[in-house]
Every structure is written in structure tokens, then in C-alpha cells.
A and B are shown apart, each in its own frame.
Chain A
Amino acid sequence: MSAAKTDTLPDPSKRDFLYITTGTAGAVGTASFVWPLIDQMNPDASTLALASIEVDVSSIEPGQAITVQWRGKPVFIRNRTDKELEEARNVSIAELKDPSSRNDNLDNGDATDINRSAGEGKENWIVMIGSCTHLGCIPVGLAGEYNGWFCPCHGSHYDTAGRIRKGPAPENLAIPKFQFINETNIKIG
């Protein structure tokens, strides 16, 4: 390569500008191709279509519970008896291991019984994700020292409002976003 003729070369600053523009455009192009490769791993449309479900709870009598599957996890829906409600209400926040309501329907709040239930007028209903907050096993209903739920994997005891009372689990059982869309149906998610 001999020395280039300076008069045929564009101005060096113009040339740098060209190189930088080309490089940037190439980088932008590559990055926009990478996004589809990443996004394809996100939940697809058929999965998202099942992100919310409706459950008919009219046949659940007080003292009964059902487990439904929502987003691949079990959800406990329990119609609590007056006795269970009473037990749960008589606990002061100070006694609780986790004082937070852990209720996705509330911005925040204490783990009072009303904050854990389906709300005013529906206090007897409790809807929770049935996945122990310790390591994800499924707790057993009507069991444990507090007569609520008991996780057999590592011995976590939850009370009748699904609050952690004893054992290794750090948090109360999580309450998903849900609402009564009419007297008989709950929409979860």
C-alpha cells in the first residue's frame, strides 16, 4: 500500500462520522434482532390466555375447601366456619411472625383477618396460593398446631387465615389477585 493521495480522500472528520454512523446502525440492527430471540422465551399467547380463571364457589359449604389450578399452581379456596374466623380474629398482629397481609388485592396492610379474607361481607372466604413460602411444597389443610394448614416438608404451621405461625417459612401464604364477579363466581388473576 503506497501513501494515499490526500485529495481523493474525504475529510477525516467526515470519514469518522461515516464509520460511527455505520457502526451504530449495525449495532442497532443487531440489537433489534436479538430482542425476538429473547422475547420468544416469554409466556406465549396461549399461556397468557389462561392467566386468569373463573371459579364457581356456590357449592362450597362452610368448612369445605376446594383446590383449583391457576397458572400451574394450586389455589386453596376455603369457606371458613365461624369458629375458624373467631380463632383467626383473636390473634394480635404482634404475635405474628409475618405482620404483612401478603394480599395482592391490597397495596399493603397488616395481616389482620379481614385483610387476609375476601373482604367486608365475604370474610368467611379465603383464597390463597397453596405453595408454602418456605420452599414451595403444598401445605395440608385442617392440620398443624393452629388448625389451619401444615406443610409436611419442613414443618411450617399456618393458622386459619393462612398466616405463618411456626416453622421455617418466612411469609404468610400469598393471596393472588381475585374478586367476586358475582355472588357465586370468583375470578382469579
Chain B
Amino acid sequence: MSGGHSKYVPVNGVMKWMDERLPLPRLVYDSFVAYPVPRNLNNWYTFGAILSIFMVLQLITGIVLAMHYVSSTDMAFNSIESIMRDVNFGWLLRRMHANGASFFFLAVYIHIFRGMYYGSYKAPREVLWILGVFIFIIMMATSFMGYVLPWGQMSYWAATVITGLFSAIPIIGVPIQEWLLGGFAVGDPTLNRFFSLHYLLPFMLVGLVILHVWALHVVGQTNPTGVEVKDLKKETVPFTPYATMKDLFALALFFILFAYFVFYLPDYLGHPDNYIRANPLKTPAHIVPEWYFLPYYAILRAFDFNIGIPFTDIVLLDSKLAGVIAMFGSLIVLLFLPWLDFAKTRSGNYRPLFRQFFWIFALVCIGLGYLGSRPAEGGYVTAAQILTTAYFAHFLIILPLLSILEKPKPVPPSIADAILAKNKAA
């Protein structure tokens, strides 16, 4: 699949003329038509395609919304409402964009967990995985800035809290925060630069996605067995029509779920306080981020204690900085996953213990998400501390230990054998 020989044959003179000058049709043909994919991919592998469609959808609806949005603190809130009320189909486009962000994240989480389960980060796919983590981080930055734009109460206080994270950095923290805000508090300069960056970052995202797909096409897709393709003819099918149709079907189902929320529960994933104009003098009683940030928010708030040398008053890390480091650390640790899990066996299907811990890890993430939505008080904080420990322990202790200790089940010699065995069983 990484081989240089292309099977593209121009269908007519025009395509041949083009092919000799800029072989774009050849690139598309080789990447999305003839590209061989393992025959045994299951439906969890369709989320890459779903994600690329959602990225395009977010770009289109976003560009269109930018034609009506006004990035000034006086006008932003009302301009969103004029989109909702007066612009032709404005309500539809805005609902699609806001809920589209949520579904983008839903798909990306499934995609990431799929990759974790099937060991898609292992050699030779480390760069592919790291690019994915960068895409994820850019996505988070983009959606955070997008959330500020409607200039509701949650927008304003989210911007205040998140930029406040930078003030935790010793000495240079506050200057950095003021530099980010363009003032001493969130205001017009902040809103304008967030709008500018919210428009810019998606294009960087597109660039990273192109690299991600390129890296994928160099090393080839993994598959549920985790065994590399040995026989192109027997073990793969061309991307079009097989993978395309499979992706399309999954996409159609995902769209049904998406439409259900856009048309019937458009405010379900949002927060009512964001229908109140931003008020710098009044914080909402209970501020929470969008659902896809909740686990990180729980990790941030888990640190309600200073870290110092025991039995002395020396503080090495105050609670604020510790929370911030832990929160960013929970993302950074993903970058090292290919080296933290160095077991030879790739797929979780043949690693019973790994599989067990994988599901526990998934539960830990959901638990953190729940705790992130609760007020930071009493037992919720204790629970968040336990789960935060579990989160990091999974990467830093469990995975390396499992790599050494676990004795995996025998892996089928090839994909073809696995398919045969499955057919026999059925």
C-alpha cells in the first residue's frame, strides 16, 4: 500500500493531459478509490470518515455564520439572536454548527478509544497517532473559542476561567494572561481575537488532517486482529466501493442521531445560562464547560491541595498550578502512549487483561465527566481525586506493567486465517 506503483489509468485524453501536468486525479484515485483496506474492518473503523465529513460540515456552516456574526461585545449576543430569528434558515445553520461541535467530539472520542483498543498507536503508526493527538488539541482550542463567540454568560465565564489557567504559571503567568486577553479582563479585544482564531484554526486542522490521512496511507490501516496485511489480494478490498459504502451507511446512521438533536433537542447539550447576555459583574451560580470538556475540568478541580514536602511548610506546587499541569498533562500523556504501551501484541482482542483495564479506563473517563458536571464540593472532589489518580495510573503504571507481565492469547498468523476461522465459527 505504501508502494509507489499506481494503478490509475486516465479514462480519456483530457484526464491524460491533466495527469501529465498535475496528477491530482491520480492522487485521488490512489488514495480514495484503489487504496486497499483490510477486509475485516468493523464499524468502529468508520468514524474517521464520519469525522472528515463533520469537519467539512463545521467549516461550511461556520463560514456561512461568519457572514452574519458581529464580533463586538455590544453586538455579538444580538447578532446571534438575529441569526436565530431573522436570517433565512439561520436557526438551522446555527443549530447545526453548535450541535455539530458536540457530534464532532462524540465521533472523535469513539475514534480515539477505537485506536486505543486496537493498539492503533503502535509501531509503525506512532506519527499517525501523534498527529491525531494534535488534531484533538486543536479541535479543543477551536471549540472553546467558538463557545465564547455567542457572548452569553457561559461564554464569558468560560473565557475568564480558561484564560485564568495561564495565570497559574509562576512569574510570567499574569502577563501571559493579559496578553491573551488584550486587557485586564475578557472584553472586546478578546472576543475579536477569538473570532479571528476560531476562523483560522479549522484551516490548520484541515492541514493536520491531510497529514494524518497521508500518514495513514503510508503505513496502512490496522484491523481488529492487529496483524499486518500480508497478502494484498486475499486480505484487502479496494477503498471504493467497499469502505466508501460502509462509511456512508455509518454516516447516515450518525446523521439520524445528529438530526434528532438538531431538530428536536437543540438546547439539550447547551447550557441555559448562555441565553443570558454576558455580565462581567455576575458569575452564574454553577459554571460548567461543554460536556466534551467535563473530564478535563474534573481533573483541573481535583487539586484542592498544595503539593509540598511532607511534614514541612515548603510548597513545591500550589493547588492552582498543580490542577493546570494535571489537566494539560492528561492530554500530553496521550502523546507518549506508543511508548508507554510497548507490548508486542497490538489488538486488545488478544490481550484479556489489557482489555479489562481498557474498559475500566473508559469508565474512569465517563466518571470524570460526570464529576466535572457536579459542583466542586464535598465528596465530588474526593471522587475526582480518586479517578484522576486512576486516569494517570492507567497510562503511567498499568500499561507499562501490562506490557511486561501480560501473556497474550495467540494471535492468528494472518488476516485471512482470522476471517476463515470466523466464517467457520459462524
Chain A interfacial positions (CB closer than 8 Å to B)? 1, 35-37, 39-42, 44-47
Contact = CB atoms under 8 A, between A and B. Distances in A.
Nearest to B234: A1
A45 B86 contact: yes
Contacts of A39: 88-89
A45 B90 CA distance: 11
Choose among B88, B89, B90, B237 the residue with the greatest number of A CB atoms under 10 Å from its CB: B88
B82 A40 contact: no
Contact of B86 (A1, A35, A37, A44): A44
A19 to B, nearest CB: 10
Contact of B82 (A1, A36, A41, A46): A46
A40 B67 contact: yes
B88 A37 contact: no
Contacts of A37: 60, 64, 93
Contacts of A47: 86
Q: Which 8 A-B pairs have the closest CB atoms?
A: A36-B89, A45-B86, A44-B86, A39-B88, A46-B86, A44-B87, A40-B88, A40-B89
A39 B67 CA distance: 12
Contact of B67 (A36, A41, A45, A46): A41
B99 to A, nearest CB: 15
15 contacts: A1-B237, A35-B89, A36-B92, A37-B64, A40-B64, A40-B87, A40-B89, A41-B67, A44-B68, A44-B87, A44-B88, A44-B90, A45-B85, A45-B87, A45-B88
Kindly state the interface size class of chain B when it binds its partner. 10 to 19
Interface in B40-90: 60, 64, 67-68, 82, 85-90
A35 B92 CA distance: 12
A3 B218 CA distance: 30
Contacts of B87: 40, 44-45
Contacts of A46: 82, 86
A45 B84 CA distance: 11
Given A37-B60, A37-B64, A44 B82 contact: yes
B316 to A, nearest CB: 55
A40 B89 CA distance: 6
A130 B255 CA distance: 51
B86 A36 contact: no
With a 10 A CB-CB cut-off, give which of B68, B89, B93 has the most chain A CB atoms. B89
A71 B92 CA distance: 27
Nearest to B87: A44
Choose among A41, A42, A44 the residue with the greatest number of B CB atoms under 10 Å from its CB.
Answer: A44
Contacts of A45: 85-88
Given A36-B89, A44-B82, 6 more contacts: A1-B237, A36-B93, A37-B60, A44-B86, A44-B87, A46-B82
A109 to B, nearest CB: 36
Contacts of B88: 36, 39-40, 42, 44-45
A45 B68 CA distance: 13
A42 B87 CA distance: 8
A142 to B, nearest CB: 40
A23 to B, nearest CB: 11
A13 B93 CA distance: 40
A187 B60 CA distance: 40
Interface in B237-251: 237
A81 to B, nearest CB: 44
Nearest to A46: B86
Contacts of B67: 40-41
Nearest to A26: B248
A166 to B, nearest CB: 42
Contacts of A40: 64, 67-68, 87-90, 93
Contacts of A41: 67
Contacts of B93: 36-37, 40
Contacts of B60: 37
A41 B89 CA distance: 10
Interface string B358-391: 0000000000000000000000000000000000
A40 B96 CA distance: 14
Contacts of A36: 88-89, 92-93
Contacts of B90: 40, 44
Nearest to A37: B64
B416 to A, nearest CB: 13
A44 B67 CA distance: 12
B233 to A, nearest CB: 8
A40 B86 CA distance: 10
A34 to B, nearest CB: 10
A1 B241 CA distance: 14
A97 B237 CA distance: 73
Interface in B70-121: 82, 85-90, 92-93
A2 to B, nearest CB: 10
A10 B67 CA distance: 49
Contacts of A44: 68, 82, 86-88, 90
Nearest to B57: A33
Nearest to A35: B89
